[in-house]
Amino acid sequence: MGLKWFMTSLVAGLMASTVVANPLSSRTSTTRHKKRSCVKPCFNSPEDRSCWTPGWDIHTNFEEEVPITNVTRTYNLSITNVTSWDGADGVAKPVMLINGGFPGPTIEADWGDEVEIHVTNNLQHNGTSLHWHGIWQKYTNTMDGANGCTECPIPPGTTRTYKFLMRQYGTGWYHSHFSAQYGNGVVGMLKINGPASANYDVDLGPYPITDWYYDTADRLERASQFSDHGPPPDSDNVLFNGTHVNAEGGGRYAKTVLTPGKKHLLRLVNPSVDNTFTLSLVGHKFTVIAADFVPIEPVEKDTLFMTTGQRYDVIIEADQEIGNYWFNATLASSGMCGTTVIDHPAAIFSYEGAPEDELPTDPGAPVDAGCADETDLVPVVPKSAPRDDFLAHKNYLDVAVTLQPYGEKSVYRWKINDSDIDIEWGRPILEYVREGNYSWPRQANVIEVEEANVWTWWIIENGSRMPHPMHLHGHDTMLLGVGAGEFDPANHTDLLNFDNPTRRDVVQMPGSSWIAIAWRTDNPGVHLMHCHIAWHVSQGLSVQFLERSSEIAQTVDLHEIEPNCAAWREYEATAVYPKHDSGL
């Protein structure tokens, strides 16, 4: 560690402001939370990753405090349409890319930095909008990138700037929220440096594992809604860090180099449109230290289940013989959690000094893959919720798949609380809020949550055999419990955990089951909650929570969205392609 780095950290740490800018001034809290902070000055190093800078560490309650650095990191992202691209697995296909690659550039920042991201839509015939998955956008709701909810899509040929503070740290990703467009490749990673709950030597960075289809997401989504079409398509490949061999024998395996004897931090991300994976590395274990953007008490796993949208920060210790090892992504045999035509998708983890051109030889023990979320994920910063309040104030949201006539045919629609969402790109709910107009269409699926700083309770019941990865914008959800069938308050309340349960931003709701989740109304704004299977949200599986609507205008300038909305409405009036799904 260089002296310059040390001095910079020291100065930044000493100057770090102790009060988080809070536009709701009546609620500004000036009291520092008591932290188990280091007795010695706290610096992040391989010997102590729990430290960050003096006064800031893994125990800091990051929901309430941020080490504001006054650093702004700037990125330019350009989204283009490429009719034939073979840069992933060697098979040419139509894509939409960010700065010409898949995944797009990693947005990297330190905890407490601000980012300013200029997004230019260089597509000819699609809008776009970029959502920063897992970032709460507290007091910056207009930056959430959920078109039809918090903004209008960015029309072709124009640029919009997203600017926000990194209140959280860890691993995330960003993606288009314009229909199923992210399935065409409009995806990138977020890496926010901060403390960690276990030590490591080397940060290997983000490692996305994703399904990959040779047809376009637009065509697949349109086809998969028809009842005579059969189940959603198999993915044609699974990419590891953007690459893999293909079914015809071309392409190449992704290869990651490990330093013998060292501990490596790997930031796993599942940016799929449909698939879930159970991950394993032959001969090695994963020490899991974060689930989504929430640091957890370190827990060791031989295999790790990761549904669409989720992330895991894991530490891999290179303590085996020097050699090449398979890193496998196993799919559930039920087919309910996605399917692929590729046999045993895998990547290579290679120790320095191992033979360069040899494939690993040990296939490892077969992995028993299911569709259920990991358990035993205990957040480092504990949060508990009041059990008594749950029974009095719980809400039900039932999910059901229905068939609706569509010309001569019929199409699937995913309903939640009896309505499939259908947002209007040119009329985001934030615009209604600015106008004080509460007469949005029923299919905006708006749920108003007005009371400030209270827990809200949601029991989501699943009327289908299919599991759904449920993602909430604007908050981490507390997962109180999961069970089969219908939720029965008399029989099931005792099974719920209110004492520091798992918190994260995507939870897997199993088929024919219920989940009980909770979140606190500490973030005025419009926040989507949706299934992260692209086909399901396209076909309606989403609501938008309108939280503390009367306070939103005190936290963000709602006029900010208007120039882009005006440009979008002008474009949409003569657009080549019409909107053909929920818009999300």
Ligand X SMILES: *[C@@H]1O[C@H](CO)[C@@H](O)[C@H](O)[C@H]1NC(C)=O
Catalog residues that contact Cu ion under the rule CB under 5 A. 468, 531, 533, 536
Residue 492 binding partner per list Cu ion, ligand X, none, with a CB distance cut-off of 5 to 8 Å that depends on partner kind: none
Residue 437 binds: one of Cu ion, ligand X, none (C-beta under 5 to 8 A by kind): ligand X
Q: Quote the least distance from Cβ 239 to ligand X, whole Å.
A: 11
Instruction: Name the residue among 525, 520, 513, 452 with its Cα closest to residue 486.
Output: 513
What is the three-class DSSP state of 25?
helix
Q: Which part of the chain contacts ligand X (CB under 6 A), choosing from 201-209, 308-316, 474-482, 523-531? A: 201-209
| Residue 95, token pair as written in the block | 């894509």
Binding segment (CB under 6 A) for ligand X, from list 270-278, 369-377, 393-401, 500-508: 393-401
> What tokens does 155 get?
């029309």
Rounded to the nearest whole angstrom, what is the least distance from the CB of residue 536 to ligand X in the complex?
A: 15
| Nearest distance in Å: CB 500, ligand X | 26
User: What residues between 66 and 85 interact with ligand X by CB under 6 A?
Assistant: 68-70, 74-76, 81, 83
DSSP E strand boundaries for 111-186: 114-121, 130-133, 159-165, 170-176
Closest contact distance (angstroms) between CB of 517 and ligand X is 13
Q: What's the min distance (Å) between Cβ of 474 and ligand X?
A: 17
Site for ligand X (CB under 6 A): how many residues?
54
Among positions 190, 346, 470, 479, the unique one binding ligand X when judged by CB under 6 A = 346
Cis ω on the peptide bond leading into residue 382 (within 30° of 0)? no
CB of 135 to ligand X, least distance (A): 20
- Identify the sign of the CA torsion 170, 174, 177, 182: negative
Q: Is 486 in the site for ligand X (CB under 6 A)?
A: yes
CA distance 387 to 339: 39
What the block records as the tokens of 114 is 């601000």
Q: Which residues in 333-365 are b (16+ Cβ under 10 Å) and which e?
A: eeebbbbbebeebbbbbbbeebeeeeebeeebe
- The span from the CA of 192 to the CA of 132, in Å, is 12
Contacts of ligand X in 123-162 (CB under 6 A): 123-126
Compare residues 329 and 531 and give the one whose CB is closer to Cu ion: 531
Distance CA 427, CA 546 (A): 15
491 binds ligand X (CB under 6 A): yes
Report the residue number, 184 or 502, with the smaller CB distance to ligand X. Answer: 184
237 part of the interface to ligand X, by CB under 6 A = no
214-220: long-range pairs with CB below 8 Å, 24+ = 214/91, 214/93, 215/93, 216/93, 216/94, 216/183, 216/184, 217/179, 217/180, 217/181, 217/182, 217/183, 217/184, 217/273, 217/534, 218/179, 218/180, 218/181, 218/184, 218/580, 220/180, 220/183, 220/535
Q: How many CB atoms lie within 10 A of CB 103?
A: 23
Angle, vertex CA 135, rays to CA 132 and CA 139, nearest 5: 110
* 1, 5, 8, 17: which one binds ligand X (CB under 6 A): 17
From the list ligand X, Cu ion, none, pick the one residue 536 interacts with, judged by a Cβ distance below 5 to 8 Å according to partner type.
Cu ion
**Judged by CB, which is closer to Cu ion: 6, or 226?**
226
Q: Which stretch binds ligand X (CB under 6 A): 120-128, 369-377, 515-523, 533-541?
A: 120-128
The entry of ligand X, Cu ion, none near residue 328 (CB within 5 to 8 angstroms by kind) is ligand X
Contacted entry of ligand X, Cu ion, none for residue 531, CB cut-off 5 to 8 Å set by kind: Cu ion
Q: Which is nearer to ligand X, 237 or 380 (CB)?
A: 237
Residue 409: name its binding partner from Cu ion, ligand X, none (Cβ under 5 to 8 Å by kind).
none
Q: Which of residues 290-319 bind ligand X (CB under 6 A)?
A: none
The verdict on 205 binding ligand X (CB under 6 A) reads yes
Distances (CA, A) of 573 to 153, 426, 577, 579: 13, 10, 11, 11
Looking at the DSSP assignment, which residues form a beta bridge with residue 104? Answer: 188
**Residue 402, CA distances (Å) to 212, 222, 423, 541 in order:** 27, 16, 19, 11
DSSP 67-80: -----EEEEEEEEE
Out of 41, 87, 90, 364, the only residue in the binding site for ligand X (CB under 6 A) is 364
> Does the footprint of ligand X cover residue 16 (CB under 6 A)?
yes
Nearest approach in angstroms of CB 447 to ligand X is: 4
331: its two tokens: 């799919």
Q: Which does 533 bind (CB under 5 to 8 A by kind): ligand X, Cu ion, none?
A: Cu ion
> What is the token pair recorded at 410?
């019929």
How far, in Å, CA of 106 to CA of 187, rounded?
10
CB of 18 to Cu ion, least distance (A): 42
Stretch that binds ligand X, among 11-19, 22-30, 41-49, 562-570 (CB under 6 A): 11-19
Spatial CA neighbour of 190 closest among 131, 143, 139: 131
Query: Can residue 462 be called a binding residue for ligand X (CB under 6 A)?
Result: yes
Q: Which of 10, 397, 452, 454 binds ligand X (CB under 6 A)?
A: 397
Provide the binding-site residues for ligand X, judged by CB under 6 A.
12, 15-17, 68-70, 74-76, 81, 83, 123-126, 179, 204-205, 207, 218, 241, 256, 280, 326, 328, 330, 344, 346, 363-364, 366-367, 395, 397-398, 400, 417, 427, 437, 439, 447, 461-463, 485-486, 488, 490-491, 512, 577, 579-580
